[in-house]
Amino acid sequence: MLKSAGFEESIPGADTVSRRLCLRLDALDSELRILMASASSIALSLDGWTSQNSLSMLAINAHWMSSAFQQYRACIEFVEIEGNHSGKNLANIVATVLERFHISDKVMTITADNASNNDTLHRCLFQKLSRRYDEYLADTVIREGTMKFTQNSQIRCFAHILNLVMKTILRSLRASSHKEACDLLDDVAKRSWKAINAPASPIAKLRLLVLWIARSPQRIQKWDNRPGCTKAIHYDVDTRWNSTFVMIERAEECRRQLEDTVNDEPDIEALRLTPEDWRQLSDIKKILAPFNEYTEYVSRDSPSIHMAARMFKELRSILLAIKERRGEWQNVSLALTIPISDGITLLEQYHDRVKDNDIYYIASILDPRIKTK
């Protein structure tokens, strides 16, 4: 095809491309070693997931500051996980990477989500490094040197904590899930709406309605042609709770169009949202709004650990006010206050895990924007 278009240069084969990429990777590793050599301490962040072709992957990022106060961030590992996903196995992978870049004694923290294998990863890595290094402030150094990694070096991803808390509340609201909605629509396609017990939860009904529209090109065209319709309503996904917030927000803007859709399609009468449903959706959106704001804040490309202690306190205060229907929350539906208790319990559990970690408070004190307040 290229030759027919007039391209006369030789095209490298797959082996040549692979060899060149490996050489480039080795060169990048060497450059990173030089850059990290001047760093006094390094923070890691990591995450694991399963790809669409069923490969278990792990990515590790390094974050550090140069002596000239220039901030650096680099991906130092992107690898398929061989074997099980145990914390011990992950700790071995991390230790190998640290050794490759000669930064075992410089790593100060590891930020990851709240999966139990990350707790084990931290403990195993600390034990492994402790056999080589003494503690950073040790009076006498008897091993290879000192290390900055401690038993309190695990930093829990705050965005993931928010995700778990909100998903707990949504689950208590019987909001169901994206997968359950898809399964129900598949069942409807085989039988009929009359043979299906439609959910009573307003979130579940809204999700089904949005998915029902999105599953058909003809319905999408009809939606786009409805008077006053300027945007599609994106259905939420199970991995990001704030997509539910966005779905409700868009639905309120397109309430009339959604009601017209149900009026035009008698078969989906079971998905009609009543005035009470809309009131509950409005209350739910109001509850989710501050958590969406904090999620966006901690997901920015800038440090936010200095705000963790404050955010725990503020979010707990908001949830308590909702539960007790105080202040601006006094008109919230009583049915929504009960699931809030589950969210408070989980938030306090994670707060108990981090409140004894001095790193959060040291970061707050050292932040020049807030240390004098």
Measured CA distances, 343 to 39, 205, 332 (Å): 40, 23, 16
Give every strand in the sheet of 42-50, ordered side by side.
Answer: 71-80, 56-65, 42-50, 107-112, 154-156
Boundary-marking domain end, from 127, 156, 185: 156
Q: What is the pLDDT of residue 372?
A: 54
pTM: predicted TM-score of the whole model, two decimal places: 0.83
What is the total count of domains within the chain?
2
Burial of 74 (0-12, 13-18, 19+ CB in 10 A): middle
| Whether residue 244 sits in one domain with residue 201 | yes
Q: What is the mean pLDDT of each run of 10 residues along the chain (373 residues)?
A: 71 84 88 90 93 91 88 93 92 95 94 93 95 81 84 91 91 84 85 78 92 91 88 80 90 93 90 93 92 88 80 92 92 86 92 86 78 53
Residues 179 and 312 in one domain: yes
Euclidean distance between CA atoms 71 and 280, whole angstroms: 45
In a domain, 372, yes or no: no
* Final residue belonging to a domain, choices 103, 133, 156: 156
Same domain? For 79 and 145 the reply is yes
Whether 142 and 183 map to the same domain: the answer is no
What residue numbers bound the domain in which 309 lies?
162-366
CATH of residue 106's domain is 3.30.420
Which of these three, 137, 156, 175, is where a domain ends?
Answer: 156
> Residue 2: what pLDDT?
65
Domain assignment present for 269:
yes
- pLDDT for 93 equals 95
Residues 145 and 89 occupy one common structural domain: yes
What is the Cα–Cα distance from 215 to 108, expressed in whole angstroms? Answer: 48
